[in-house]
Amino acid sequence: MTRRLLPIAAALAVILAVPAQAAGPVSRSDPQHLPPLPPGGVDLPLAPPVVRFPLPPQWVTMRSEQDWRTAGRIDPELSAACSARTFRQQEPLRFRAIFKGEVLGVAFGHGLNLHDPKKLADRQKIYLFRNGDTSGCVVVVMDNGDPRVLDPQAGAGRR
C-alpha cells in the first residue's frame, strides 16, 4: 500500500516545489478565458423570462415626452398610503405610462388595477405610481377625461 503512495507523494512534492510564477501570469484578455459571443453579437435584446405560467399582458396606456412630475399633482397622502401598501396597484405595471423613458404604473380610480381597501380613490381620477412596490412610492393624480367615467349614466344603458 505504501509503495503505491510513494510515487504520488513524490509527484506532489515536485509540483509544490515549483513556484506558481514560473508558469507566468494568466492574461484575462486571452480569448480562451472569455465565453463565446452569442450568435448575432452582444447587442441583442434580452429574452423574456421563462416562467411556468404565462405573464399577464401589459398595456402602455399613455406615452409622453414631458416629465412625469408635470403630468398631474403629487398627492402626499396617497403616496404615504402607497408606501404602507394600503393604496397600490393590484398587478404592478400591468398598465404603464411612459414619460421621457421613465415607466410608471397606472391604476384607475374606478377600480381597474387598484387595491384600495380604505376607499381613498376618486372615481374620476387616474393614478400613476412611481416606485409603486417600494416604501419610496410616489403617487401622481391625473384627471380622467373619459366621458363614460365623467357621466356614470352614459355607460349604464349599454350592457
Q: Are 114 and 90 in contact (CB under 8 A)?
A: yes
Secondary structure element (H or E) that encloses residue 2, with its range: helix 2-17
The residue assigned the cell 494568466 is 26
pTM (two decimals): 0.60
Give the C-alpha separation, 107 to 81, whole Å: 14
Question: So what's the pLDDT on residue 147?
Answer: 77
Termini Cα distance of the chain: 90
Domain segments of the chain as ranges: 59-147
Question: So what's the pLDDT on residue 159?
Answer: 39
Lookup: cell for 115: 387595491
Question: So what's the pLDDT on residue 93?
Answer: 85
| pLDDT mean values, one per 10 residues, the chain (159 residues) | 63 61 59 63 58 67 89 94 93 89 90 92 92 91 81 54
Question: So what's the pLDDT on residue 128?
Answer: 94
Burial class (CB in 10 A: 0-12, 13-18, 19+), 51: exposed
